[in-house]
Structure formats: structure tokens, C-alpha cells
Amino acid sequence: MLAKRIIPCLDVNAGRVVKGVNFVALRDAGDPVEIARRYDVQGADEITFLDITASSDERDIILHIIEAVASQVFIPLTVGGGVRAVTDVRRLLNAGADKVSMNTAAVNNPQLVADAAAKVGTQCIVVAIDAKQTSPGKWEVFTHGGRKNVGLDVIDWARQVQLLGAGEILLTSMDRDGTKSGFDLALTRAVADAVTIPVIASGGVGSLAHLADGVTQGRADAVLAASIFHYGEYTVREAKEYMRQQGVEVRL
Amino acid sequence: MNTMAMSVAVVDYGMGNLRSVAKAIEHVAPHASVRVTADAAEIAAANRVVVPGQGAMPDCMRELNERHLRDAVMRAAAEKPFLGICVGLQMLFGHAEEGDVMGLEVLAGRVPRFPQAAMVMPDGSRLKVPHMGWNQVRQSEAHRSHPLWDGIADETRFYFVHSYYVEPQDAVCIAGETTHGITFTSAIARENIFAVQFHPEKSAQAGLRLLENFMRWQP
């Protein structure tokens, strides 16, 4: 039976992991290669890099990072952030990424999803959706870190990106992101049930129970978290052991 | 071991993440000469051949033909240690539902898509397609002692990402099976050929072990 995936997410700025990483005996706390290796050893099922580099001069650094990680860490790598064109997708895949995630660019230009999927295959294309609840049972798509409502219903958009050729959806609740109060389970389940492609739940994880809930109640295929792993609260292995106790199929 | 015995060609027909495959092989066989190549002569000269693959089967077959690599791949499949990965497994078979194209027909069988109907669970939830993530491979009785399974426990999880699977006509070649709604063939073995639906280059220790086994294999 297919295991539910646990995916640590690293924010990378100009080649450095920026959110505090609290591994014991880490030689270089900001080194993406060393951190990725630690997560691999802990049993992470994939690793996602979110490139938050603002300066366009430093954009290509992520390519070198991915190249370095891919030569030492043999699990799937997803990269998001700053992807605007099919050539960006190609360059990231050629550097060693397995999947490329797009968010604002997909909203601004849905054809990009179709073009990229046609070029490199559906399985390499992840569409990230930032969702905010706007009324009971209704969520809308936001960009710019949750500041801009683009006027799209999340469920409609999820179905549309599937049709366009996305192979996976990374769904983040902007209401929950950073709150440590758990995933928006109603949102997660609504999207997971609306599409036939895998859905990764993100935003709000503060405990191991939250991770398990995302799968058991939210019906997510994978769960993504940053801070609970980065600050050494839990290891990926502890998360998996807990999920297994809850009856969730995991790779241990 | 002489260097000739350690040359491996990773066939480049423009599809998928070839660098990852080459990197993983270099990792397990640091002294091997690993070439990512679209040159038929180089493929012919290599002692071992890996055919990776990602994306759509019609595109893969078209690229293979346009780059005049079809014969080189067919010859490799006939005579030297040959590892097919993902679409590199699928293209060994015949008719592919995806794009309604024919594969190389090295093995008899077809390549259908996961049937939607089999994907709905009793609680109403749905198994997703692509089949993406870590799933178990049950090694078949007939091939459990195959050198490529050496040191890899039965039911070990490997990383998969695909929407189509192979359905061999002759079950004798089935080296491994996996369940995702339906039970499908996830590894095949015949003489000098071993091919897998999962991605050993992305399957952590178990995948590296399989690649290491391939590099040592003397069929």
C-alpha cells in the first residue's frame, strides 16, 4: 500500500536555508546540502525547497544548490519559488529537481501549467495553491503571501490545474500558516476529494497529531511542514512512528 | 576489475531526469565510467546500459526514433546487462494506451492506465493517479534470488511516479508486484534485462542497493 509522505520544507534565500535549523552537531546550520542530508537520514520521503530569493541577480544560486543536493541525496526533490516560464522549469529539472512547483505564475498564466506539463510531463509539475476562507465552506485563492485575492474559488482552481496538467497540488491554508494550530482540515478534504491527483497539505502544523489529522481527516496524500522539524521539536522519524501508531501507512 | 567492465551508458533521448540516474550510479560505483549519451556508438561500446525515462510514452518513443537510438537500445536489450527505469520499462512492451503507440516489443504485453473505477475506496476516498510516492514491491517467488534483489528485503518500499503500468503477457518475467488499487507488475527480469517501474535513483538506500547490484551483475 502506498505510504503517506512526510515532506520537510526548506526556505532558501540566496543559497542559504533561512529558517533556524536546530540539528545537533550541524557544522553549518544554513547549508542546504547538509540539512537535506539530515532529513534524508531521518527518513524524509521528499524534500521541498522554497526559493525566496528576492534579488534576480542571485536567482541562479538555487540551481547550484539543487545540483549539489541531488548528487548526495537520493530522494525526490521539489523546488518552488520564482518559476515564471517553461525554461525555468527545464533548468531546475536539469539541475536535479524532480518536481517544480508554481504558484503566482500559474494564476497569472494558466497556460504555463499546460505548456510545462506538455514539455516535461505531468509528474514534474506541482501547482501550489494558497487558500483563505472567505465564508463558511468557501475558500479563495490568494497570492503575495495571502495579501491579494485573485478572485478564484479554490475548488474550481484545483480542478482546473488538474485539467491543465498538474501532477500534484501543494495546498496551503493562509489562515493557518504559522499559527501551529493544525491544518485547515475542511479545506484539505474538500480539495483532496475534488481532484484525482495527489494533494499535499500545508500550513499550521504544530504537533505530530496535526500531521496525522491531515491524512486521516483531511485525506491528504502527503503532509508538508517546516518549523516543527527545523527547530528540532520532532524528527521526521518520530513523526512517522506517531503516524504509524495512528494507523497511517508510512515508510519506516 | 578492468575499466571496460565498468562502463555504463545512460541513454539520453531527451526525456526525464537523467542526471539523477547518472549521479546515483556514480555514487554506488565511483570507479565506473558513467556516460549520459545520445550516441549510438557510445551505447554500443558500453558494457552496461541504463534506459531511464519519464514523461509520456509517445514522446519517449518519438525522441528515441528521431535520435536514431532505437537500434542501439534494441541491441543492448539483446546482449548486455540492461536496466530499464519507469518509461524505460514500459517501452520494452507493446501497445501503450498513452498516445496509442507501440513500444519496442522486446517483451509481449501492453501498457494500460490505472483504471479510475479501481481507485475508489470503500470510504469514498480515492487513490490518486499519478501513483506517486513510496510503495512496497513484493518480489516474485521465481526471481527472489535474482542478483538485483540481493540485500533488498521483500516488500521494501521504492519511490514511484507513474500513471501507466506494464501488463506482461507471460508472467514468467514478473520479478516484482505492487498494489495501488490494482496489483501491477513493478519489476521484470529476463536473461540480461531487468527493468523497474519505480525510480531506484530516488529510492534512498534501497534504490542505491539495486543500482549497486546492477553494476555488479554478470548475467
The residue type at A203: G
* Residue A27: pLDDT band with limits 50, 70, 90: low
* Residue A56: pLDDT band with limits 50, 70, 90: confident
Tell me the pLDDT tens digit for each residue of A177-191.
Answer: 988 999 999 999 999
pTM of the complete model beyond 0.90 = yes
The predicted pLDDT at position B177 comes to 98
Tell me the pLDDT tens digit for each residue of A63-88.
Answer: 999 999 999 999 999 999 989 999 99
Q: What are phi and psi of A240, to 5 degrees?
A: -70, -40
The predicted pLDDT at position B3 comes to 42
Q: Is B67 on the interface with A (CB under 8 A)?
A: no
B56: nearest CA partner in chain A: A121
Tell me, yes or no, if B191 is annotated catalytic.
no
A232 or A107, which is more confident? A107
Contact residues on chain A for B164, CB-CB shorter than 8 A = none
Output DSSP code: residue A229: H
Instruction: Point out the least confidently predicted range of A46-50, A105-109, A221-225, B51-55.
Output: B51-55
Q: Is A137 on the interface with B (CB under 8 A)?
A: no
> How close is the nearest chain A Cα to the Cα of B59, in Å?
9
The ipTM of this complex is 0.93
Cell numbers given for A198: 495527489
Q: Is A54 on the interface with B (CB under 8 A)?
A: no
Output DSSP code: residue A3: P
Mean pLDDT, each 10-residue run in order, chain B (219 residues)? 71 79 94 94 96 83 92 96 96 89 94 88 85 97 97 98 95 97 97 98 97 96
Q: Is B14 on the interface with A (CB under 8 A)?
A: no
From B86, B98, B173, B180, active-site residue: B86
* Residue A226: pLDDT band with limits 50, 70, 90: confident
> How close is the nearest chain A Cα to the Cα of B189, in Å?
23
In order, the DSSP letters of A151-174 are EEEHHHHHHHHHHHT-SEEEEEET
According to DSSP, the β-strands at A16-17 and B95-96 are unpaired
Q: How far is CA B186 from CA B118, B136, B165, in A?
A: 18, 9, 8
Tell me the pLDDT tens digit for each residue of B13-36.
Answer: 876 677 889 999 999 999 999 999
Tell me the pLDDT tens digit for each residue of A120-151.
Answer: 888 999 999 999 999 999 999 999 878 899 99
Give chain A's mean pLDDT: 92
User: Which CB contacts under 8 angstroms, 24+ apart, belong to B215-219?
Assistant: B215/B6, B215/B8, B215/B25, B215/B28, B215/B29, B215/B32, B215/B48, B216/B147, B217/B81, B217/B147, B217/B148, B218/B81, B218/B147, B219/B81, B219/B147, B219/B191, B219/B192
Contact residues on chain A for B157, CB-CB shorter than 8 A = 3, 251
* Residue A230: pLDDT band with limits 50, 70, 90: confident
* Residue A28: pLDDT band with limits 50, 70, 90: low
Contact A123 B130 (CB under 8 A): yes
Tell me, yes or no, if B199 is annotated catalytic.
yes
The predicted pLDDT at position B4 comes to 45
Instruction: Point out the least confidently predicted range of A78-82, A126-130, A196-200, A216-220.
Output: A78-82
Contact B135 A3 (CB under 8 A): yes
Instruction: Point out the least confidently predicted range of A5-9, A244-248, B15-19, B179-183.
Output: B15-19
B57: nearest CA partner in chain A: A121
Contact residues on chain A for B119, CB-CB shorter than 8 A = 196
Contact A75 B162 (CB under 8 A): no
- Counting one residue from A and one from B, how many pairs have CB atoms under 8 Å apart? 105
The predicted pLDDT at position A29 comes to 66
Q: How many CB atoms lie within 10 A of CB B71?
A: 11
